[in-house]
Amino acid sequence: MKLTQTILKQAKAAVPALAAVPAEQLDRALLCVADELEARSAVILAANADDVARAEGHIAPTMIDRLRLTAARIADMAAGVRSVAALPSPLGRVLYETDRPNGLHIRKVSVSLGVVAIIYESRPNVTSDAAALALKSGNVAVLRAGKEAFASAYAIVEAIRAGLRTAGLPEDAVNLIEDTTRASAMELMKADGYIDLLIPRGGAGLIRSCVENATVPCIQTGTGICHVYVDAAADLDMALDIVNNAKTSRPSVCNAEEVLLVHRDAAAAFLPRLRARLIDDRLAAGKTPVELRCDERAFALIGGTPAGPDDFDTEFLDYILAVRVVDSVDEAVAHIRAHSTMHSEAIVTADPAAAGTFINGVDCAAVYVNASTRFTDGGEFGFGCEMGISTQKLHARGPLGLPELTTYKYIVTGNGQVR
Amino acid sequence: MKLTQTILKQAKAAVPALAAVPAEQLDRALLCVADELEARSAVILAANADDVARAEGHIAPTMIDRLRLTAARIADMAAGVRSVAALPSPLGRVLYETDRPNGLHIRKVSVSLGVVAIIYESRPNVTSDAAALALKSGNVAVLRAGKEAFASAYAIVEAIRAGLRTAGLPEDAVNLIEDTTRASAMELMKADGYIDLLIPRGGAGLIRSCVENATVPCIQTGTGICHVYVDAAADLDMALDIVNNAKTSRPSVCNAEEVLLVHRDAAAAFLPRLRARLIDDRLAAGKTPVELRCDERAFALIGGTPAGPDDFDTEFLDYILAVRVVDSVDEAVAHIRAHSTMHSEAIVTADPAAAGTFINGVDCAAVYVNASTRFTDGGEFGFGCEMGISTQKLHARGPLGLPELTTYKYIVTGNGQVR
């Protein structure tokens, strides 16, 4: 097993060579990587079968499903890498340019960060997604997969490195950490001077550990207490579809809805229909019903569970929805400002003034008008793949796109200016 | 004395109201602030005279000079505020816009951060500079001045708040922390939920304390081991002027030069002239000579002090310059990559190829071709005032401009899209 320190050194050493590669050659390399992923499909599937066999009985069936690859999933991974290659390069963009009175010419130009490290868990496709986004933005990738996915990740990284060699790029542009114990995650968090950006992708425990322990620059991802506000001027059919989708399409993810706010003028018409849709219809279809935790006014209309003091501050990640009736869009905004985790918030309304108040009033990464919060995702935003969703305000907010994987440099040219 | 916690609460409460103020009104408010600074010049000077009287004998004469205000300095402060008002607003810019195949329209729009806190020391003008840049970018400012400058800062903040009232803005948009003990600085570093960005402006001790203790988002400013590389193709007269300026115009600041690298083909002609300029000429003029700490090859040409092992990794902030002869621009780049603090680096050359290698090869906030490193400064870059110089890569690099005092929000509009 290679030491983590050795891998970090080889990654850092690859930075200058990778930074000198023109954008077109990076794109050609990504196409070679996609080809190698498909060419090595059988090898990757065999490694994945080993991972699955070792994991079965030890992790939950939903985790096994996340871990398992198929030929179709590998084709999807290759397609993801090709879609990243097709995006415009985030490098070399002139972000600001000025001529100063003293004759200095100043340009602010986007450049790669250097080494981007990603700690993730059991989904093998994160390996190629993260590597593709890092490469496209001129960064060396250091990948640290969960131990249950190691053999799959190893086979995928071997394919990626083969693609890089074919394209004439340094293969150390993509690196897999071989130590899958907790020690290596901690080593990455403390690797000052070796890692320019660390992205933790995983559960609350991993994120908290990064916030507490990381001394390298780190982007906080994750927690989403997402709200949908159904306005007095909402199309109630649309509102039903959006709340149903935001709550039930995949309750375990961070962009799922946790809290419903309903304008008092819509509540009497909307809430009974919502109850029918989320409970009665689902029971009739043999699906898990949604538990509605209602404030006093909502409870008076549809019953359910009386909401407790923590229900408006909990990321349930389950078939549970907190419901509150509000008097105005301003009250909805104030509630969200007090309880939001700054992830995704939605308003359903046909009133442009209410939409404007909501858009400007809530403080979050993504604010939706007449659409589900579930769209907060790199792929859905057109970023090619998903790298993580930032809930902080500095540097990156929402799905990490290619610009967020770059920094910039001021290039100042003169003819002897002194101050 | 108002408690720091009370001030943080009033600052946070002012965020929504300030965020709703249109850019034109922010600019009008800045002009009112500038007018009030001038109108209250006598009051501010009286407060400053008290500060100076209390400080005399307790702090170094250079610090007294930093602390002392004059009518002309107050006029400069007002002019700085007016120049910020004249800059384009960083708010509401569409940074990215796309129509997705499912009909969703996605816009990435710049918005204010919320509360920006600045911890600084004895220069009273930082009070109005920081407040102006924060206001222009729609942020509530929390200012924490050094205790020796408190009376001056208080008088300046009173003027600013008067200007805000005149313009119909909430006066709590600019707040001064009243506790000037270390406890309040620590309170700001730990004020999770109240501060969206903390900028420490001061000595190495303050910066280190922030890195170690801050749990709020913080931008590292400060350390500069800046290099000037004199290429084989340099105009030696220009190189002499640039090195002289970068080293001696103000040795105590972070954008001053600490290390000189000279190409071997230029060394024999350049170094004796440099020695004459930095030592003999300065002695003849009654100025402090520069101590040259030379590597072996430079020492063979001009003597001086033999460079010790730490001399290429020390921010001298003094009349000391480490000197090394290199064989090529590539060796200069490699030296800088190994020793840089990622602040400012310069090349002097008439060769565009060497300039290109240097620009792409060094990893720093500002890279100069044929100009002094001393220009790394918000005012010199056209940003109106100086807010601090970031030496990190995330979010902000180099002088903090108005865009770096904003974050962004994705605004997604649809007509009922679900996923």
Q: If you write DSSP's letter for every residue of A275-302 in order, what string do you get?
A: HIIIIIHHHHTTPPPPEEEE-HHHHHHH
* B369 chain-A contacts, CB cut-off 8 A: 411-414
A222, pLDDT greater than 80: no
Each residue of A395-409: pLDDT tens digit? 999 999 999 999 999
- Does B16 reach chain A within 8 Å, measured CB to CB? yes
Query: Chain A contacts of B367, Cβ < 8 Å?
Result: 409-412
Are the CB atoms for A402 and A137 separated by under 8 Å? yes
Best residue in B394, B405, B406, B408 to probe A by mutation, most A CBs within 10 Å?
B394
* Cβ distance of A412 and B16 shorter than 8 Å: no
Is A223 near chain B, with CB under 8 Å?
A: no
Q: Residue A328: what residue type?
A: S
Contact assignment for B242 to A416 by CB distance below 8 Å: yes
**Could you say which of A106, A244, A359 has the minimum Cβ distance to residue B411?**
A359
CB contact under 8 A, A364 and B409: yes
Q: Extract the tokens encoding B177.
A: 């922390």
pLDDT at B103 over 90: yes
- The backbone torsions φ and ψ at residue B105, rounded to the nearest 5 degrees and listed phi first, read -110, 125
- Mean pLDDT, to the nearest integer, of A330-351? 96
Q: Which helix (H) or strand (E) holds A32?
A: helix A23-39
Position B240 scores a pLDDT of: 98
Taking residues B224-241, report their average pLDDT: 97
Whether residue B107 has pLDDT greater than 80:
yes
For the stretch B246-273, pLDDT in tens is 999 999 889 999 999 999 999 999 999 9
Distance from CA of A298 to the nearest CA of B (A): 24
CB contact under 8 A, A394 and B98: no
| Residue-averaged pLDDT of chain B | 95
Taking residues A242-250, what's their average pLDDT? 97
The dihedral through the CA atoms of B162, B164, B165, B170 has a sign that is negative
CA distance A238 to chain B (A): 5
For the cut 80, the answer to whether the pLDDT of residue B290 exceeds it is: yes
Cross-chain Cβ contact B361/A16 below 8 Å? yes
- Give residue-wise pLDDT tens across range B314-358: 999 999 999 999 999 999 999 999 999 999 999 999 999 999 999
Q: Which of B16, B393, B407 sits opposite A217 (nearest CB)?
A: B393
B372 contacts A417? CB cut-off 8 A: yes
Q: Is B393 on the interface with A (CB under 8 A)?
A: yes
B319 touches chain A (CB under 8 A): no
Q: Please compute the mean of the pLDDT values over residues B376-399 and round it to a whole number.
A: 92
Check residue B121 and give its pLDDT.
87
A91 contacts chain B (CB < 8 A): no
Burial of A61 (0-12, 13-18, 19+ CB in 10 A): exposed
Q: What is the mean pLDDT of residues A296-302?
A: 98
A331 touches chain B (CB under 8 A): no
Q: Does A112 touch chain B (CB under 8 A)?
A: no
How large is the average pLDDT for residues A239-263? 96
What pLDDT score does A212 carry?
80
Of A20, A196, A375, the CB nearest to B393: A196
- Nearest CA to B156 out of B274, B44, B9 is that of B44
pTM above 0.90, yes or no: yes
Tens digits of residue pLDDT in A121-135: 888 999 999 999 999
* Cα-based distances in Å from B412 to A167, A366, B237, B252: 38, 7, 57, 49
pLDDT computed for residue B384 by the predictor: 85
Residue B73 has pLDDT above 80, yes or no: yes
- CA B414 from chain centre, in angstroms, equals 42
How distant is the Cα of A295 from the closest Cα of chain B, in angstroms?
Answer: 26
**Residue A215: what pLDDT?**
85
B294 token code pair = 């030379």
Look up the ipTM and state it. Answer: 0.94
Contact A375 B417 (CB under 8 A): yes
Which residues of chain B does A19 touch, with a Cβ-Cβ cutoff of 8 Å?
Answer: 360
Which 8-state DSSP code applies to residue B262?
Answer: E
- Is B410 in contact with A397 (Cβ distance < 8 A)? yes
Facing A382 at nearest CB: one of B100, B363, B382: B100
